[in-house]
Structure 1
Amino acid sequence: MIKETNFKGIFELRKGKKKLLLTKNLVPGVSVYGEKLIKDNNIEYREWNPNKSKLAAAILKGIHQINLKPDTVVLYLGASTGTTASHVSDILGKGGFVFALDSAPRVVRELVFLCEQRPNMAPLLADANQPDTYKDKITQVDWLYQDIAQKNQVDIFLKNIALFLKQGHFALLAVKARSIDVTKEPSVIFDEVQKKLEKAVIIADKVLLNPYQKDHCLFVCKKR
């Protein structure tokens, strides 16, 4: 039986000991990255794969809050081909909107095709490290998500929060330890990231993403 989780717009289906995460498909009949489509009571859901989505991994690892709500506006930094962004689009529904940003032209070409199918998504080819270059293209946002494997990923995150996130709202940072420093233990990197974040934002929650995503941690932050 499919039931809604504690997070609005995110559903679960238990198969024995296994728990599948699902979102309601905004575009019925269309699979984005080869995920299974499941019908129940005339509603179509998309299976959300935690091995391909750090946000799904964090939810299955028991994160307590993500603060993503339907009918809100989102800035997604590092959207790639739109795997996780498409599930965010499902959660927001037709009353919400996702600005999906990536710096790789090849990837953004695929994003364009995805956004053509999804009325609540817009692709943006831009460098997240230079938010001034796209500040005239997007609005203030209710929620921000970043998944960028760069050495200065924390600086990028904080710059975008300062410019675009509404006060008192939430931003999530998926940290890939090996992108920051391959010589240090991931746990040391995560401690350093936490100290840097705490100087600028409130950390509401964090969770390690193994075994789904090795050497990754997701931080949930609130803008002061």
Structure 2
Amino acid sequence: MEKLEKFTGVYNIEDHIATENLNTGKKVYGERLIEVDDKEYRIWEPRRSKLGAAIMNGMETFPFKTDSKILYLGASSGTTPSHISDIATNGTIWCVEFSPRMMRSLVELSRDRVNMVPLLDDATKPRNYLHLLEKVDILYSDVAQSKQSELFMENMRLYLKPEGIGIIMIKSRSIDVTQSPKKIFREEEKKLKTGGFKVLEKINLEPYEKDHLAMVCKFAF
């Protein structure tokens, strides 16, 4: 079975993408485990992870490194953070999640993954966790609500290093179900540009996620 490294810590194996399992023998969300060259890999399911979908759809800007410091907003039960955890083995992922039910799963997952730090908090109030983390290299946001771009930018201004990268997963239906997704995506991009950010890349997540767009950003200055 052939394995090719696509990005740091992300591999093409057959028709799939995968990450090397930080916890050998353990699954996170029912994903397949496969062995190649005496190492175990977790298949990264694009229908279960928007970042996985973005990679499958041709994402070019992939800032995650082995020592990256990452703030993840909307971590849910930890599906995507677990793959980032496989990559950033010497880094830290601060995982903000608002739902106590999801947080229970996230805390359990973090027992086995020491580079993941679960934070039960509200991403719309980023100063709440100001004392808990440092400036980060990457800010990743997957928070499905009407002000998703605003909270993304507020967190970026507080926590992202000047040279850092921000990634937002925009869900158009959480913003306005009456408007076309294309119009909403244009409006959200305009908000980011007006807010002082440069959009480096846009990736539509169809067919894995309906009415979703990934935007990769950095500070414009």
TM-score normalised to structure 2 length: 0.97
After superposition, the C-alpha distances for 1:120-164 in whole angstroms (9 at most, x for unaligned) are: 111000000001111001111111100000000000000000000
Structure 1 position 42, deviation (Å): 1.2
2:155 corresponds to:
160
Determine if contact 2:137/2:163 at 8 Å carries over to the other structure.
no
2:4 corresponds to:
3
Q: Post-superposition, which runs of at least 4 consecutive aligned residues in structure 1 deviate over 4 A? A: none
2:202 corresponds to:
206
Structure 1 position 218, deviation (Å): 0.0
After superposition, the C-alpha distances for 1:9-68 in whole angstroms (9 at most, x for unaligned) are: 100112xxxx20100101111000000001111111000000010001011100111212
1:82 maps onto 2:78 in alignment: yes
Report the 3-state secondary structure (helix = DSSP H, G, I; strand = E; otherwise coil) of the residue aligned with 1:65. coil
Q: Which one-letter code corresponds to 1:177 in the other structure?
A: S
1:91 maps onto 2:87 in alignment: yes
Determine if contact 1:175/1:218 at 8 Å carries over to the other structure.
yes
1:185 maps onto 2:173 in alignment: no
Q: Which consecutive unaligned segments of at least 5 residues does structure 1 have?
A: none
2:139 corresponds to:
144
Q: Which one-letter code corresponds to 1:87 in the other structure?
A: H
1:110 corresponds to:
105
Determine if contact 1:66/1:220 at 8 Å carries over to the other structure.
no
Q: Distance in 1 between matches of 2:61 and 2:92?
A: 20
TM-score normalised to structure 1 length: 0.96
Q: Distance in 2 between matches of 1:131 and 1:96?
A: 21
Q: Distance in 2 between matches of 1:63 and 1:12?
A: 14
Q: Distance in 2 between matches of 1:123 and 1:88?
A: 14
Structure 1 position 119, deviation (Å): 1.1
Q: Distance in 2 between matches of 1:66 and 1:147?
A: 16
1:217 maps onto 2:213 in alignment: yes
1:135 corresponds to:
130
2:64 corresponds to:
68
The alignment of Structure 1 onto Structure 2 pairs a total of residues equal to 218
Q: Which one-letter code corresponds to 2:119 in the other structure?
A: L
Report the 3-state secondary structure (helix = DSSP H, G, I; strand = E; otherwise coil) of the residue aligned with 1:119. coil
Picking from 120, 123, 132, the partner of 2:118 is: 123
Q: Which consecutive unaligned segments of at least 5 residues does structure 2 have?
A: none
Structure 1 position 217, deviation (Å): 0.1
